[in-house]
A and B are shown apart, each in its own frame.
Chain A
Amino acid sequence: MSLDTTTLLAILAMALVTYLTRIAGLFVADRLVLTGRAKAAFDAIPPAVLVSVIAPTALTTGWAEAIAAAITALVAFRLPLLGTIAVGVVSVVILRNLI
């Protein structure tokens, strides 16, 4: 069981900012009413972050990954989360063997 100092620091920093986001809402309750474009921008944060994380893997690694990502996106609207993951993993394994 190893514990790297920088890793521990990263974990503590992540834990601190996450806890601050969790309790911040208690202080701004009743005052934070976002509307219009500000609300759209705030609502966009989770999908924008998630897509940015996977874009390099999905788009620039190779054809197998890009096609598998497209297939996954198609089934994602119809299947539950675990089914979507299964389709994605199976597609990429098959495509890597074909291409």
Chain B
Amino acid sequence: MDQTTPYYPTYRREIRAGLRDIAPVAVAALPIGLLFGAVAAAKGLSPLEVALMSAFVYAGGAQFAVIEAWAYPVPLAALTFATLLINARHVLMGASLGPKMKVTGIQRFIAFFFLTDEAWALSERRALERPVTGAYWLAMALVLWGNWTLSTTFGAMLGSFMGDPARIGADFAFTALFIGLVAGFGRSRVTLVTVGVSAAVAALVHHFIGAPWHVASGALAGIAAAYLAAPREARP
């Protein structure tokens, strides 16, 4: 690494950096994509429907949540609202990353279709040292998008041969995945209060009212609890 010369981004170098950064993420996402496809198939979705959802929605967390609450007839309003709630974090992520990217005009509206937690985190890290170019972003985005769409579709095709996922405990993989994701938000007092209140309200609503309303009510209760539990003058 030559530290003395200034950094001149070239397409080739930017693409290579993007591929290098996203590779481990793509490897980790592969089995999760297969799992999503298999559980979606068990809920009654066809491989084509799984492919369309992954390609157009392209948001793992929301897709997992929606599939868990999936039923026939499809509860359209509740599923859309759950998707909006889960993906609301994108607004803050986009507001933070947008000004740091060397992408302008209509290209920004294409680039930000591919906003994910992973690509965002890697780009924010890169933005500390150098601007995030469109070539870097698109190299990461296309690999992760293709990886997700193909692995979930393949999982759905395999899933229809696997039979009942409960037999091998695969139905619980979701729950375990979500517990792992929640643990990633840490053990601060506010987070623990949020998790406790959400879990209790969601379980009660599910028992007395039924799916899928436990998602919205549990989430809103946890958000309200976080608001009340946070100190009044907390600094960011």
Q: Which positions 95-125 of chain B face chain A at CB distance < 8 Å?
A: 95-99, 108-109, 112-113, 115
The distance from the CB of B154 to the nearest CB of chain A, in whole angstroms, is: 14
A-B pair number, CB within 8 angstroms: 317
Task: Let me know if B74 is at the binding interface, CB within 8 A.
Answer: yes
A84/B98 contact (C-beta < 8 A), A37-B232, A48-B194, A48-B226 known: no
The distance from the CB of A25 to the nearest CB of chain B, in whole angstroms, is: 2
Please give the number of chain A residues whose Cβ is less than 8 angstroms from any Cβ of chain B in the complex: 76
Query: Of B7-15, B128-136, B144-152, B184-192, which binds chain A?
Result: B184-192
CB-CB under 8 A from B31, the residues of chain A are 82
A49 vs B173: C-alpha distance in the bound complex, in angstroms? Answer: 17
A22/B203 contact (C-beta < 8 A), A11-B56, A14-B79, A47-B222 known: no
Interface 1/0s, chain A 36-66, versus B by CB < 8 A? 1111111111111111111111111000010
Q: Is the interface of B mostly helix, strand, loop or mixed?
A: helix
Q: Indicate if the CB atoms of A43 and B177 lie closer than 8 Å.
A: no
A80 vs B169: C-alpha distance in the bound complex, in angstroms? Answer: 19
CB-CB under 8 A from A40, the residues of chain B are 190, 226-227, 229-230, 234
A66 vs B96: C-alpha distance in the bound complex, in angstroms? Answer: 39
A32/B175 contact (C-beta < 8 A), A4-B49, A49-B65 known: no
CB-CB under 8 A from B115, the residues of chain A are 22
CB-CB under 8 A from A8, the residues of chain B are 49, 52
**Can you list the 6 inter-chain pairs with the closest CB atoms, starting with the nearest?**
A25-B94, A88-B176, A52-B218, A48-B222, A40-B230, A44-B226
